Amino acid sequence: MATNNSKTLARMMVTPAVILLLIWMLIPLGMTIYFSFLDYNLFGDGENKFIGLLNYEFFLTDPAFVDSFFNTLILMTGVLFITLVGGTGLAILLDQAIYGRNIVRIMVLAPFFVMPTVSALVWKNMFMNPVNGIFAYISTTFGFEPIDFFTHIPLTSIIIIVSWQWLPFASLILLTAIQSLDREQLEAAELDGAGKFCRFRFMVLPHLSRAMTAVVLIETIFLLSIFAEIFVTTQGGPGNASTNITYLIYTQSLLEYDVGMGSAGGLIAVVLANIVAVFLMRMIGKNIEG
Amino acid sequence: MSNNKSNKSKMLYTFFAWLISLAIFFPILWTILTSFKTETEAIASPPSLFLFDWTLENYNKVMQQSPYFKHFWNSVVISVGSSLLGLLIAIPAAWSMAFIPTKRTKNLLMWMLSTKMLPPVGVLIPIYLLFRDLGILDTLGGIVVIMTLINLPIMTWMLYTYFKEIPGEILEAARMDGASVGQEILYVLAPIALPGIASTLLLNVILAWNEAFWTLILTTVNAAPLTAFIASYSSPEGLFYAKLSAASTLAIAPILILGWFSQKQLVRGLSFGAVK
């Protein structure tokens, strides 16, 4: 009796969240699907003719799409790789007995709190600027030609900026995981003659897998739709060299006013993200609930 | 002897840890320092680290040039407003999923998380057009609603992982003693769950403060938060390093301080309970 009551109550309590999220997903997504079949320009004649799959054809055969698809992947895997490897190293270092550990931790964590527009602008102007930037100063001091970051290696520059933003997150999650490691087991392994590498490979690394899954999942959510860092630095250029899918769709729909094409692109982005999502959900399903 | 050896390694680790963490922190430190320089000193070569004439002139100029406090206030309203509104919806949902789970609870949670995987560009155009037609482009109310919806899945998940750790027996005991559901929540659950709720709130305030897709697209002047305020410095006119630094410092300082004070709670919350 009490259980029946509480079940009804439970359903009532979940309902608002579910309904809101359903609305949030279905209505805009439905509209996107509808628009994607129309010849719809924000400043067009307002006829918005039905043109079938033409928008998809144009979007998918546009060389910019192929470029931005690979840029999105490179951006995501590049940042994931740097933050996971760097984060693990940093976590191990911060786990050692060191002086001033709290201050060190505060400094490492700081970039996570910096908003993307600020970090992108600071890196762009004060560090990567080929004339007045600090990197330019360092290279000229040592007699090298300064690198023009955003002209010659735009995507790499953005990877550097985004990695700087996410490294703290990865390190701290991994550090927390390392600290929960069973010390006695490690010591026993050491006494049995297991070397440093051996202990890392067969004891620390497996223990970190859950935390790494969490890092990959959360970072991916944000990395798939990087926008501000590109918006304030390269604007996707030069050419399409640093355009990701999010930025491409933004230019098509809000700068070129092509709603139909932008919608088709948006849906393709959703499908691609879902492929990644299914893959990730399997991973967490195994790792987090278990 | 072994003591001596471990002391040596401690010094070595300390050295590397400080070296690396200073390198990571350097861009922020440099921004803060540059904000107190004159424009000439800001691009001086060789750059000076501390030995320059400290000035507050840039802060004055930034405040005069653009209404900083208006943007600051917008950021506060957007981040705190959307987080509180989100809590209001997410707490009941997470509570019921944690304490009265059904067969579908796990699927429901996964589905909620999957809505977070929906790339914002997928719904960019409809949201933009809906906002335009409803006349809520560039309004605080509109952007608060969007932020709430964006962070709702994360909030529900975080709260769920916190609530699940509360032993159900406590609730049963309270129920045995004749507590109603309302009393159960107010007197038993709330005190235990408060730390989890607080860190969920904090994390969402930080995420919303730094969100820079919807805020850049849906606001122009009136509702523009600090992310948009800073983005206006990306034009060539903004190539004044000292002023840019002052504006940046003003934009990140509040959240940096808040974040430092709450770092322990944040780390746990962020990992969705995957790391204890």
Cβ pair A225:B120 closer than 8 A: yes
Buried/exposed A183-192: b ≥16 CB within 10 Å, e otherwise: eeeeeeeeee
Query: What are the chain A neighbours of B120 within 8 Å (beta carbons)?
Result: 225, 227, 246
Q: How far is B71 from chain A (nearest CA, A)?
A: 14
pLDDT tens column, B150-176: 889 888 888 888 888 887 777 778 778
**How many other CB atoms sit within 10 Å of the CB of residue B86?**
28
pLDDT in tens, A140-184: 888 888 888 888 899 999 999 999 999 998 998 898 888 888 788
Interface predicted TM-score (ipTM) of this complex, two decimals: 0.85
The sign of the CA dihedral B70, B73, B77, B83 is positive
In single-letter form, the type of residue at position A238 comes to P
Q: Do A173 and B270 touch (CB under 8 A)?
A: yes
How far off is chain B from A138, nearest CA to CA, in Å? 10
Q: pLDDT tens across B200-244, in order?
A: 888 889 889 988 888 888 888 888 888 888 888 776 655 688 888
Top mean pLDDT of A5-14, A94-103, B189-198 is at A94-103
User: What is the pLDDT averaged over residues A239-245?
Assistant: 86
Q: What is the pLDDT of residue A1?
A: 39
* Nearest chain A residue to B261, by CA: A106
User: Could you tell me if A38 and A49 are in contact, meaning their C-beta atoms sit under 8 angstroms apart?
Assistant: yes
Binary contact (B13, A97; C-beta < 8 A): yes
CATH number of B66-270: 1.10.3720.10
pLDDT at A213 over 90: no
Confidence label for A3 from pLDDT (cuts 50, 70 and 90): low
Q: Among B89, B118, B93, B123, which Cα is nearest to B218's?
A: B123
Q: List chain B domain ranges.
A: 2-59, 66-270
Separation CA B268–CA B276 (nearest Å): 7
Residue of B nearest to A213 (CA): B274
Give how far A97 is from chain B: nearest CA, Å.
Answer: 6
The matching CATH number, chosen from 3.40.50.300, 1.10.3720.10, 3.90.1570.10, 1.10.3210.10, for A23-287 is 1.10.3720.10
Q: What is the DSSP string of B208-276?
A: HHH--SHHHHH-SSTT--HHHHHHGGGSGGG--HHHHHHHHHHHHHHHHHHHHHTHHHHHHHHTTTS--
Q: Does B271 touch chain A (CB under 8 A)?
A: yes
In this complex, which of B45, B119, B209 lies closest to A225 when CB atoms are compared? B119
φ and ψ of B22, to 5 deg: -65, -40
From CA A188, how far away is CA B72, in angstroms rounded? 55
Backbone angles phi, psi at A60, to 5 degrees: -70, -30
d(CA A69, CA A81): 18
Give B 59-98 residues with CB within 8 A of chain A: 89-90, 92-93, 95-97
The CA-based diameter of chain A, rounded to the nearest angstrom, is: 82
pLDDT cut 90: percent of chain A above it: 16
Encoded tokens for A198: 């051996």
Q: Round to whole Å and give the CA distance between A90 and A273.
A: 30
Q: Provide the CA B177 distance to its chain's centre, in angstroms.
A: 41
- CA distance, residue A186 to nearest chain B CA (Å): 17
**pLDDT of B106 over the 60 cut:** yes
- Are the C-beta atoms of A123 and A231 separated by less than 8 Å? no
Going by C-beta distance under 8 Å and a sequence separation of 6 or more, which residues neighbour residue A92? Answer: A178, A200, A204
| Inter-chain touch A31–B128, beta carbons under 8 Å | no
Q: In this predicted structure, what is the pLDDT of residue A164?
A: 95
**Cross-chain Cβ contact A125/B114 below 8 Å:** no
In this predicted model, what pLDDT tens digit does every residue of B39-80 receive, in sequence order? 777 777 777 777 777 888 888 888 888 788 899 999 999 999
